[in-house]
Amino acid sequence: MFKNILVPLHLDYKENHEKLFTGALEVLDKDGSLSLLYVNENRAHGSAYAILDDENEKHYNHDAFVELKNITEKHDLPKDKLSFNIRDGSAHREILEEARRINADAIVMMATKPGFGSYFISSTSERVIRHAACSVFVIRLTDYN
């Protein structure tokens, strides 16, 4: 079992959160903790700079934090075992950096079905698996779109 699990969340795939949390809680030690992470990728790609000034970004991150809290309440996650963080940047880099920062012993994350689009440019989960210093559990999304 793992004591310090990082759980990166994609806020758009709400229908898969229950499956993700079930997987994370299954490998969580009874004295362990979950660190939920949302990565705001709006500024990871230069095209968003023109429309997202610092004030808009602050509101966006606040809304994401509120959404994280709502998700944990909806899924009745143990509040005494939770922490939250929002990072700005490229998802795989920020997940890896957060895992290092909190000294995670495991990462439990969602992944889409691999397709031609990820053949030449690897997916976030693939990059995390390849570079993580800890165990990584991948929960497949129910809906691949």
| Sequence spans of domains, the chain | 2-140
6 C-beta neighbours (distance < 10 Å), count = 30
Q: Please give the chain's pLDDT, 145 residues, in tens.
A: 999 999 999 888 888 899 999 999 999 999 999 999 999 887 665 554 555 566 666 677 888 889 999 998 998 888 899 999 999 899 999 999 999 999 999 999 998 766 655 554 558 889 999 999 999 999 987 655 5
At residue 134, the 3 state secondary structure works out as coil
Helices (H), the chain: 17-27, 54-74, 91-102, 124-131
d(Cα 50, Cα 76) in Å, to the nearest integer?
38
**Confidence (pTM):** 0.85
Are 61 and 84 in contact, with CB atoms under 8 Å apart? no
Query: What tokens were used for 8?
Result: 């990166």
Instruction: Tell the CATH topology of 2-140.
Output: Rossmann fold (3.40.50)
